[in-house]
Structure 1
């Protein structure tokens, strides 16, 4: 067991934590029993108590079972952050089913894959993304779509500026197979017996990789419980009395765990935003005395860039951190001056349902992944030989612990490749290259897998390439990262046009087409036409050489 980091372990915390032998739904049930009249959610000034939250979860779970959802079925959850996401998430679990959270930026072409892979018969979505799932009703097994309007949960007297999709009134539904959110909750169906426990599958956050198609990471109630309990224990923020500002998307594991499942486990309050807005965030921190805020670095930078930020009282904050990109030192210093807090960075993946490593709050290191948390054994190995590396030696980061996923849904070969056995124990291969220092802090330097990190959004080039090949003018495409002043890095596509389309289509037209086919964060910001792509002697496209060339050219220009 790797224990070098125990010398800097947070004072008063045990090295191991015993996890509850219950389902995630039980966390809500217990909090509603303990604190029925306390606020579970505040959504743009509209409060929802734990009693109300549980009642609505149970009502929706009953409707899901009435629609035929059975134990182990997958149900798609396709919307932005809102009370309906939380209700939908826990209702799916209460119906003994598995949550499939889908990025609301996805379009119909991308949704086809999720339906084929999960064979979901029901989707819960919001009305602004409904047009993308509507044409797929009847595709694969999808038969029912429950559609929600965020405005149903808005406080009529709020003075907060609302995003357009939040302010929009509910629209009538005419498509066969659709059910309005209010009708689903008002149908009066009660759920049957809760049949799932800690070792049943609970949620499939989707990751991707070199094969292009997103893969469902199979997480049990126990593995999800692990990082939700670990995060609550590791971070200060008032415990049950704490207040969490939720700005990270819930379909992503960091937001899901740190700002939804964690607070519900504690029975604390979630102050919820659908879309990021720095002025609204500052008002909410001040108004509701927010104690904890997990974010991506670009959000923290944006908040601190507000010329009026010092006019807001942010003194209630006790914990602020996250990841997604390196925190600039100047911004970190401004944060400390304003709040007295250091930005606490952590590290995790969809396969680990959030953090395996977090910086100790009393001794954080800048631009550092942190140290392995409770019950996590993390090592660094040689990519080719599997040999363990020593202090300061770069290799692939591997981890084992209670939060590690069971494998990839429907992909046994890729599951097998994702693990390695050392000392009789099964370790997950993260695909990230890094090292640890003398004190056991881990640092990342590169990736084994192809991945672009654009403002915290993970873009898998092979997936973007696969979608681009649907364009009739594209003969070949190679997607690489390019430097970007604000996002850190962004998506660039090097394209070889088919002979009969050369001179007939522009780079901008390719980008416009991509915007219609894929989530906005995946869309190439740069398209470069080439006569051919460089290849190795075996015929493989040399993407890494192209990417290194791109970054080298930018450095020369700088």
Structure 2
């Protein structure tokens, strides 16, 4: 019956029958972090967090009505959940899925078959594309943009992908606590006559903050803002910053701080901003590197959910 209704009824009637108002501040999803600092934390994200990050990401990627999104990242991870699942659904973009992100041959065939134009992945998975002898450049010809996140992009992966497929990889940055995207590199664009080229990417950086997102580099102890080019703690403010951690007010208080009336997420990442506004990450203050261990994160999260 629902299928028939969607096929036959006008949009205004479908909205009346099926759409219900929701409190934008209510929790929409609870995602578990990768556990790079111990047991996973349940990150509470509101409808506003998710919708804001979807709109921010869609805006900077300049999504088109004829774009097709290739989705192969797991939905228990914030990158896969928000960017490769919710974004195309909310923006009305065609979405093609492949269940196993490590099956790069299968992903490449899906891209070729459906002429996908946008693909999100990780450095580890893109390395598999470079190494797989059966994945050919022609299969990824339709892609107009490839974005890597969830872990630091290996420069050898970037160079190898460009050499094999002729496609640049644009690195982004985020965290589960920011729903997840904070910043991203983008293709350069033509501007006005006074500024013929608008620089959108700087290799080695994680790009510029999304619209509506503030990023500062501060002293890790005093939280005082540091000068441009000086390394310190990266903190993030914006509508995508989480509500807090599930049943953990102590960790929430440690991660979320109000500075000059603005709410900030303390990332734990060490980095610096250059004069052009590009963010470069150096290390983790906790001395734990973030890894895209999707299977391990899921296993630990399921264990925590089973506990009383």
Instruction: Answer whether TM exceeds 0.5 for this pair.
Output: yes
Q: Which residue of structure 2 lines up, in the alignment, with residue 263 of structure 1? A: 88
Q: What are the Cα deviations for residues 308-334 of structure 1, in whole angstroms up to 9, with x where unaligned?
A: 333643221011011234434343234
Choose which of 51, 58, 61 in structure 2 pairs with 1:235: 61
Q: What are the Cα deviations for residues 224-256 of structure 1, in whole angstroms up to 9, with x where unaligned?
A: 00111111121145x232111111111111111
**Relative to 1, partners in 2 of residues 1:438 and 1:224: Cα closer, same or farther, differing over 3 Å?**
same
Choose which of 157, 181, 203 in structure 2 pairs with 1:331: 157
Q: Which residue of structure 2 lines up, in the alignment, with residue 428 of structure 1? A: 265
Relative to the length of structure 1, the TM-score reads: 0.46
Distance 1:280 1:330 in 2: 23
Q: Which residue of structure 2 lines up, in the alignment, with residue 491 of structure 1? A: none
**Relative to 1, partners in 2 of residues 1:200 and 1:455: Cα closer, same or farther, differing over 3 Å?**
closer
**Relative to 1, partners in 2 of residues 1:320 and 1:392: Cα closer, same or farther, differing over 3 Å?**
same
Secondary structure of the 2:226 match is coil
User: Per-residue deviation at 1:193?
Assistant: 7.9
2:274 is the counterpart of 1:449: no
Indicate conservation of the 8 Å contact 1:452/1:458, yes or no: no
Relative to the length of structure 2, the TM-score reads: 0.81
Count how many residue pairs are aligned between Structure 1 and Structure 2: 279
Distance 1:452 1:329 in 2: 17
Q: Which residue of structure 1 lines up, in the alignment, with residue 78 of structure 2? A: 253
Choose which of 270, 273, 280 in structure 1 pairs with 2:98: 273
5+ residue gaps, structure 1, are: 1-28, 38-50, 52-190, 461-517, 520-558
Choose which of 378, 381, 384 in structure 1 pairs with 2:215: 378
User: RMSD value over aligned CA atoms?
Assistant: 3.0
Q: Which residue of structure 1 lines up, in the alignment, with residue 237 of structure 2? A: 400
Q: What are the Cα deviations for residues 397-446 of structure 1, in whole angstroms up to 9, with x where unaligned?
A: 00110100111122222211112232221211011111111211111111
Indicate conservation of the 8 Å contact 2:29/2:46, yes or no: yes
User: Per-residue deviation at 1:269?
Assistant: 1.4
Indicate conservation of the 8 Å contact 2:213/2:239, yes or no: yes
5+ residue gaps, structure 2, are: 10-16, 189-199, 301-308
Choose which of 235, 241, 247 in structure 2 pairs with 1:410: 247
Secondary structure of the 2:129 match is helix
User: Per-residue deviation at 1:271?
Assistant: 1.0
User: Per-residue deviation at 1:337?
Assistant: 4.2
Secondary structure of the 1:414 match is helix
Q: What are the Cα deviations for residues 441-472 of structure 1, in whole angstroms up to 9, with x where unaligned?
A: 11111112353433455979xxxxxxxxxxxx
2:113 is the counterpart of 1:287: yes
Secondary structure of the 2:227 match is coil
Secondary structure of the 2:290 match is strand
Distance 1:339 1:213 in 2: 38
Distance 1:250 1:392 in 2: 36
Indicate conservation of the 8 Å contact 1:296/1:456, yes or no: no
Secondary structure of the 1:309 match is coil
Where in structure 2 are the equivalents of 1:308-387 lying within 5 Å?
Answer: 308-310=134-136, 312-362=138-188, 363-387=200-224
2:24 is the counterpart of 1:198: yes
Indicate conservation of the 8 Å contact 1:263/1:269, yes or no: yes
User: Per-residue deviation at 1:192?
Assistant: 9.0
Distance 1:395 1:192 in 2: 48
Indicate conservation of the 8 Å contact 1:235/1:361, yes or no: no
The structure, 1 or 2, with the larger RCO (C-alpha pairs under 8 Å, 6+ apart) is 2
